[in-house]
Structure 1
């Protein structure tokens, strides 16, 4: 039986209010989803907010995200939630972020489901609930959020919602890697190395390196250092070699501080 089948058999349907967070902010309760401004204007505000964020202008990014979120468009509300979760242009406010993610998730935004799952798994700004977090990650994965497969894999591997299931975790990591998540690829590599499947592990490390997500170089270096002879193999690889060099350079700079 698949993980999805097990969940459907063992757990009740997700109900409104299950996230154990306070009601959404008042101004988010005053209009239906899709209210004015038109969607093109909302997307423009989000693009401008992202550009400000990339430029390090957090205060300006927050202004654009707030303006977009007043439309109640689910993705815009999610981005405002991210601002409060991460402290972009404001003091970090996880409980407000949780409320916004809940509002956005009700509107069908997969990333809001993922972000609310992250907070719920940690009990950050809302009640800690591993089962609810798992259901939210499942819902996010169903909406194409590949990172959710990695998180479901971690829950299975660590037994956070029942017995540990390393085999199921590896399948989820491999699925997440196939869908384009570098962290899932790296976790797959870690599990494969632990089982002695070095060649398959190197292939997943190569995939992680190709995906090029932030901070992966350091973790690839840390993983290879734990297995004698692996670093030398990776250093000669056309894809992994530059990553290993970057990781070594970063470690040397850190050690010199």
Structure 2
């Protein structure tokens, strides 16, 4: 008995176009789902988080770390209030959040104060609930140009936020650019319920919660403005690279920072 041979009929041009369009729609939906519920990439444009994050770092931010608010969604639709399906952030987390003055603007800072905490700076030292946060002097932070020449040297400190029953101590590094800056001495900030206190690791070059919202600072950040926790640098590029000059891309990559965790 002859074996029956089955031959697939070629698809009409309209069918091929529909298949391609459907594949594109699926890919977009998957990308939006990952961005909304899992991880979102962010680019670091300023020096406020030196030495932890450099200009040109690209980081992945965990969206599920703190759950979801309307700001987790594309275009921030007001379909619900507060946060859902999340846990509270911890002191020492590096957090991406929406600027309370203009929620279309993203900021990245380190969370140093939880609701009810009292925060103060005295002579450049951070105080938490009346106690100085432990810190020690480490080697200077050196800025070099793309040829390796030393451009600037700044004091660097290792700071450790104390742990408690909920979390271990967190250690990271900060910069002190100026001996007597206006941000080295402040009043006492008492973090209100449902808000957080954010500071840049580059202590003398950061518009953060030490500066009132009314004068262009960050102020206290509401819980629903948190986007997520920065967890991974996936690529880092020197600002000298030019999009219009592809031959500069490879030499501008900071290979030692790629796919590294964020403390």
> TM-score surpassing 0.5?
no
**Which structure shows the higher helix fraction?**
1
TM-score by length of structure 1 reads: 0.23
Higher alpha-carbon Rg: 2
**Which structure shows the higher strand fraction?**
2
Q: Which has the higher contact order (CA 8 A, sep 6+)?
A: 2
